[in-house]
Amino acid sequence: MDTYNPSYAYQHGESNSQSTFDALFAVAATPEQPAVPSQPKDDLSVVSHNIRRDAEGALNMGTEIIIIHVGDGDEQKEFVVHKNLLIKHSEYFQTMFRTDNWEEAKRGEVELETDDPEAFELFHQFVYTGCVFSQKQGDTARAVDEVNRTEEAGAAAGSADQSDRDSEMGRLCRAWELGQKLMSTSFKDAITDTMRSKVRAGEIPMHANAWIYPRSPENAAMRRLLVDIAVWYWNSPAFLEQKQYSERYHEYFYDIAVASDKLHLLRMQNASQHPISPIENGHSCFYHEHETDSTVCYRKMF
């Protein structure tokens, strides 16, 4: 039987109810009546807890559907999405479909020729499930970012550009960019959480700033996450690798300098304690944009 660690459980929000339950049975057990073994994680009680929900939380999909064509040429893909869900998760679609002034609203079809079909597929799946299905078989889990560096770097790298494009981190960056265009706070926050979970698993992005910073506003929560990743997780070689971006993305390095100074002051003020990264220790909505735009956290929408 696994040993229950109350300190670990407290830090990770786990309950000791199951361990207490097992212990009670172990104490009461006799040689004639062996202890009841711990239940597996897919125990019926756990499954029931995850399945049974309040009726008010059910998806209100409605009956109207919208056909959305994403991409151009041979790479174009068609998606069928319930109109209510588009309105719920996107101010862009909300504006489009709540008036009759848009031709798309009259036809029930939308053309997004300049957008990435793979990124929209993540959005499509998200509005129905609340999950980001970004991880694919064959993705390389390594401590460098797999996102497109720049158009010039991609062209110079040749086939490496395609390798980058097929990776999860690049997928997440393009999905966040789509969320920015669609004005979908819920989707962007989910993407940020996904990237945060990758960092906590030891997959540290090195070049996501090259994609996100030119495509994001100054107050974007994703920028804060990328800055904290650099300040808390990068080493000297990682910073040296960024020299190729120093002139183009000076705003990013300015933000890193400010955050580094704050961390230095924090360490001086708490010399006896070792500060913990907000990526590890911050509350679950720490990098969410709904914290500033007064919308509902996506976790409460599903």
Are 197 and 235 contained in the same domain?
Answer: yes
Is there a single domain that holds both residue 31 and residue 98? Answer: no
112 and 210 co-located in one domain: yes
pLDDT class of 42 with cuts at 50, 70, 90: low
- Domain coverage including residue 26: 6-52
Give the C-alpha separation, 174 to 147, whole Å: 9
Q: Are residues 174 and 210 in the same domain?
A: yes
Same domain, yes or no: 16 and 90: no
What DSSP string describes 45-112?
HHHHHHH---GGGS----S-EEEEEESSGGG-EEEEEEHHHHHHH-HHHHHHHSSS-SHHHHHTEEEE
Q: How many CB atoms lie within 10 A of CB 222?
A: 27
158 Ramachandran zone, left/alpha/beta (phi>0; psi -120 to 50) = left
Q: Tell me, what's the pLDDT at 60?
A: 86
pLDDT tens digits, 86-138: 999 999 999 999 887 889 989 999 999 999 999 999 999 999 999 999 998 87
Residue 5 has pLDDT above 80, yes or no: no
State the pLDDT at residue 4.
40
Question: Do residue 68 and residue 48 come from a single domain?
Answer: no
Does some domain include residue 128? Answer: yes
- Any domain includes 253: yes
What does 250-273 look like in DSSP terms, one character per residue?
Answer: HHHHHHHHHHHHHHHHHHHHTTTS
Residue 46 sits in the same domain as residue 83: no
Report how many domains make up the chain: 2
Same domain, 117 and 180: yes
Residue 1 belongs to some domain of the structure: no
User: Do 144 and 229 belong to one domain?
Assistant: yes
Tokens 């990237």 correspond to 195
What integer is the mean pLDDT of 172-182? 97
Report the candidate in 270, 147, 287 with the shortest Cα–Cα distance to residue 227: 287
pLDDT reported for residue 21: 28
The confidence score (pLDDT) of residue 152 equals 41
Range in 77-91, 200-214, 230-244 the model is least confident about: 230-244
For residue 284, the surrounding DSSP H or E stretch is none
220 found inside a domain: yes
Both 71 and 35 in one domain: the answer is no
- C-alpha 246/C-alpha 235 separation (Å) is 16
Please choose, from the candidates 137, 136, 133, 138, the residue with its C-alpha nearest in 3D space to the C-alpha of residue 120: 133
Residue 44 lies inside a defined structural domain of this protein: yes
What pLDDT band is residue 30 in, cutting at 50, 70 and 90?
very low
In tens, the pLDDT along 247-268 reads 667 788 888 888 888 787 777 7
pLDDT for residue 148 is more than 70: no
The confidence score (pLDDT) of residue 37 equals 46
| Confidence (pLDDT) at 14 | 44
CATH number of the structural domain spanning residue 177: 3.30.710.10
Same-domain status, 42 and 105: no
Q: Which long-range contacts (CB under 8 A, 24 or more apart) does 34-38 make?
A: 37/1, 38/1, 38/2
For the segment 13-37, the average pLDDT, to the nearest whole number, is 40
**Residue 57 maps to a domain:** no
Q: 157 and 241: one domain?
A: yes
Find out whether 182 and 70 touch, Cβ atoms under 8 Å.
no
Per cent of the chain over pLDDT 90 is 44
